[in-house]
Homo-oligomer: A and B are copies of this chain.
Amino acid sequence: MGIGRQSLYDTFGDKHALYLEALQHYCFDSVGQIAAALQSAGSPLAGIEAALLGFAARIQDDTMCLGVGSICEFGRRDREVAAIGKSSAASLQNIFAATIQRGKDLGEIPPEIDPKDAARFINATFIGLKVMARGGATHDDLRATVQMALRCLG
């Protein structure tokens, strides 16, 4: 990146601290992007679809979601990494849950759905999509998987 070693160490301290800041930034950004997708859509369900599809469309081959990567690599071993992952997942699931509740209020999503469970499920689907994309799944594969997942909310 054309940045001197020493500048980097002076600014961030060490590699771990830099990683944490990058991860934090990335997670914050990701949640924001999803929130934006949810809000700019015509309806709650359409928003969830847009969030999932928008992600599937934006995938490029050789990148791995930093959040999922951090979970896979460190699990719960690194407490600071885990804390970032946990709080990020929590806010993401809160956003999804609120959207799903709105969908229920509008009658778009059946009343027997528990928003928290559904939100966690959407999160799980998201993770599955990301890993499958990294594993080489085509955009069509991802889109079809999104459609299957959305059946659960209908």
A120 engages B136 (CB within 8 Å)? no
Interface centre among A61, A114, A148 (most CB of B within 10 A): A148
Does more than half of chain A's interface fall in helix, strand or loop, or is it mixed? helix
Say yes or no: A77-B62 contact (C-beta < 8 A), given A131-B71, A144-B117. Answer: yes
Let me know if A111 is at the binding interface, CB within 8 A: no
Give the residues in chain B near A125, CB-CB below 8 Å: 124-125, 128
Let me know if A134 is at the binding interface, CB within 8 A: yes
A120 engages B144 (CB within 8 Å)? yes
Let me know if A94 is at the binding interface, CB within 8 A: no
The distance in angstroms between the C-alpha atoms of A128 and B120, with both chains bound, is 10
